[in-house]
Chain A
Amino acid sequence: MRIGLFVPCYVDAFEPEVGIATLELLERFGLDVEYPFDQTCCGQPMANTGCHAEAAATEALFVRNFSGFDYVVAPSGSCVHQVREHLTAIPQTDEVLAVRSKTFELVEFLHDVLKIEEFPWAAFPHKVAYHGNCNALRGIHHARPSEIVAPFFSKPLDLLAKVKGIEIVDLARPDECCGFGGTFSVFEPAVSAKMGYDKVADQNRAGAEYVVSSDSSCLMHQKGCAGRLGLPLKYLHIAQVLNGAAA
């Protein structure tokens, strides 16, 4: 199985450890993981701002980089949502459609495709608040959102339950958006930051030591908010926890 590793721009520049953990984790399962060297971004910042024409060249580059793999895997629900649902600024050739349908977010790849049963190397004896990124939660269906009347399920919590010693704490508003919202975070900074403050206050109130998510962008925003409020919360990507990161 040939896997193309997509490391989103935020992860590349600010959270390289998340990219490394994703690569190492996939390699632990004996997969042939390649990192196409000319990759940059999925086009989401432009597309989400309505600027599809401005996103087209970046989308085309993404497809050129990831064509031909059995699966493309990325540690970001939001970027995968963009590729799967919104990479439409370029003509939808067979090649484009193939790349879009083969692109998976790390959690769903582990849970649905590889069906991983255990992470023997992973132990994380800490109180953890899980943050479900909205695109992962409602866009690619990582879990049942609280507002939907259906049996509960959560792919990321299923995976974390296989990590020794971990304790998940309950939030007052488990599915509430943290306010990052891509370019929303800079074009509407007051509301964005207030949503972030409320989110990190909720995590702190719940007694979390760590906040774990499948999206580095939300974590970067929350970390910035917690830092500004002086709250002692630490933020980790789920790839790091599953790969056996120690505290």
Chain B
Amino acid sequence: MSAEDVRPTDGEPTIHPEVRPPSDEGERGQDGRRLQHAEAASRPIAAPKVREKQPRGAKIRGDRPIDQAEAAERFLAAPLHQAAHDERLWDLRKKRDTAAHGIPEWEELREIASSIKAHTLSNLDRYLEQFEAAAKANGVHVHWAADGADHNRIVLGILRDHGAKTLVKSKSMLTEECGFRHHMAANGIEIIETDLGERIQQLDNEEPSHIVAPAVHKTRMDVAEVFARTLGTDPENDDAHYLAESQRETTRPYILNADAGMTGCNFAIAETGTVVTCTNEGNADLSGNVPKLQIHSIGIEKLIPRIEHLGVFIRLLSRSALGSPITQYTSHFRGPRAGTEMHMVLVDNGRSARLGMEEFWTSLKCIRCGACMNTCPVYRRSGGLSYGATYSGPIGLIIDPTFNKRKYSTLPFSSTMNGSCTNVCPVKINIHEQIFAWRKVLAEEHQIPLLKQGMMKAAGAVLSRPAAYRAAIGTADSALKVLPRFAVYNPLNTWGKKREMPETPKQSFHAWYKQNRMGKEAGK
């Protein structure tokens, strides 16, 4: 394939020509330029016309450590899915760069956002009480949940008090954390997700794979298959407009008739007791405003002190997530409409404990933009479901072990620690340094495989003894076998399966130096 073949007509190079359409497809504005709209690729990603089965996520076996590498390998074995996934998310990273570079004070904004979050988290007790008082004054019922089970019990109680059987909700990572949907189903409450991606995942009985784009690992053909099976659409029609419209048509009646509505929360303003949601589909507004009973679930780290601080985060959030200046809808929920009831549930679920972790508390600054996932080269090639956890990608690597150290002990190792996650984080969480710190904690607590720790012990023993080290690599042939044994020639030879082995030189630098320079030194 020549260089020309892989360059789309707008001249931008790509590493995945197979998912780039050869013609200059895509919607254009009146000025003839390609539309750059939120949650859409700058350039359409070609739907593969070859049917390729969607790879599924990590195998969950109780508390046993997640084998992310195994699930990632299965994802890579579906090359069209992998290429589309990588290209789609890389596109978001590029759009994020363009948006950020358009704001000269971008780095300063990140610093301010990080400081506001640090301040709020350092005074969280005070701000939570302020929020509660303000919300109550607005006529809102405020509840406190210590953990996920508590949250689910409280919400179920509210629903039962009102005889509610159906609940429409917008996307909320917190409710995923709480296992909310499964709990409600077990108690006879029907939940309908109204976010398109989240609805796709619900219908396919799969967890979200990305915190902003829950079904980003699926192709249009996959969605057509899921909708055909669950909504009765035409299985051969994978047109995006047709699929989106079908979901809209089938979800609207649920929204109009639901007994209750629920949203998550992007920002909770302590001063005013307001919950702010940021969406692109308007589904949070419908979920919150249509039913007579509305519930907002809020992670306690979502607090910011005052309304004037919101602008800083709004400027950062969608630019970091999708490269768009702002989400289509930024909605402020403050008090119940006439004749309705509003509840807010403040949920801890491990957050207070995390706040007490010296090396890891700043992970609570996260505003769930997903920028770290989009930039992560490992995430883009593994798919979010390979992490087997509510939070995937770089932010997941540092949050998940706080929920279950054994089950998620492997995740901090699913990273090259290249550091781009830290650089794109709008609230400046030192993500890759926390990944490094987690590895130390896990090794000290023997939560890493014995084989790995044993190899490191052996390596340390050789590398700390010059004579042993020299003996090990003294002859060219033995160098490959021993140095670094853990990296190049471990028992499984995982290097050589997919890469050529390095050639062994005639002599090491050490031997060359001895032969060519030691004599001279002696003669000095």
Contacts and interface: CB of A to CB of B under 8 A. Distances in A.
Contacts of A171: 13
A176 B375 CA distance: 9
A54 B456 contact: yes
A176 to B, nearest CB: 6
Nearest to A10: B484
Contact of B484 (A9, A19, A147): A9
Residue of A46, A51, A227 ringed by the most chain B CB atoms within 10 A: A51
B443 A49 contact: yes
B104 A189 contact: no
B440 A221 contact: no
B497 A189 contact: yes
B413 A188 contact: yes
B370 to A, nearest CB: 14
A45 B484 CA distance: 9
B416 A60 contact: no
Contacts of A202: 13, 15
Chain A: number of interface residues, binned into ranges: 35 or more
A178 to B, nearest CB: 9
Contacts of B512: 16, 19-20
A52 B512 CA distance: 32
Nearest to B382: A191
A138 B424 CA distance: 12
Contacts of B416: 134, 177, 179-182, 184, 192, 195
A209 interface: no
B234 interface: no
Given A20-B509, A138-B418, A13 B479 contact: yes
Contacts of A37: 466, 510
A14 B448 contact: no
Given A179-B377, A205-B15, A16 B505 contact: yes
A189 B418 contact: no
A188 B414 contact: yes
Nearest to A60: B464
A80 interface: no
A14 B502 contact: yes
B509 A86 contact: no
B418 A55 contact: no
Given A9-B463, A149-B100, A181-B415, A188 B440 contact: no
A61 B464 contact: yes
B72 interface: yes
A49 B452 contact: yes
A50 B443 CA distance: 5
A76 to B, nearest CB: 13
A7 interface: yes
A26 to B, nearest CB: 13
Contacts of B497: 189, 193
B106 interface: yes
A40 B469 contact: yes
A51 B103 CA distance: 42
Chain B: number of interface residues, binned into ranges: 35 or more
Interface string A155-198: 00000000000000011110111011111111111111111101
Nearest to B423: A147
Given A177-B416, A186-B494, A227 B499 contact: yes
A7 B82 CA distance: 38
Nearest to B422: A138
Interface in B341-398: 375, 377-378, 381-382
A146 interface: yes
A35 B464 contact: no
B226 interface: no
Contact of B69 (A61, A170, A190, A207): A190
Given A48-B417, A147-B424, A227-B499, A19 B509 contact: yes
A94 interface: no
Interface string B85-107: 01000100100110011011011
B501 A139 contact: no
A81 to B, nearest CB: 10
Contact of A181 (B417, B457, B498, B500): B417
Interface string A1-35: 00000010111111111011001000000000001
A206 B2 CA distance: 11
B516 to A, nearest CB: 8
Contact of B509 (A7, A45, A55): A7
B419 interface: yes
A223 interface: yes
- The 3 A-B residue pairs with the shortest CB-CB distance, nearest first, are A181-B416, A50-B439, A224-B499
Interface of B: 3, 6, 12-15, 68-69, 72-73, 76, 82, 86, 90, 93, 96-97, 100-101, 103-104, 106-107, 375, 377-378, 381-382, 412-420, 422-424, 436, 438-444, 448, 452-453, 456-457, 459-461, 463-466, 469, 473, 479, 483-484, 486-488, 490, 494-495, 497-505, 507-513, 517
Given A191-B382, A193-B499, A194-B76, 9 more contacts: A41-B469, A46-B460, A49-B448, A50-B448, A149-B100, A172-B13, A181-B416, A182-B487, A190-B69
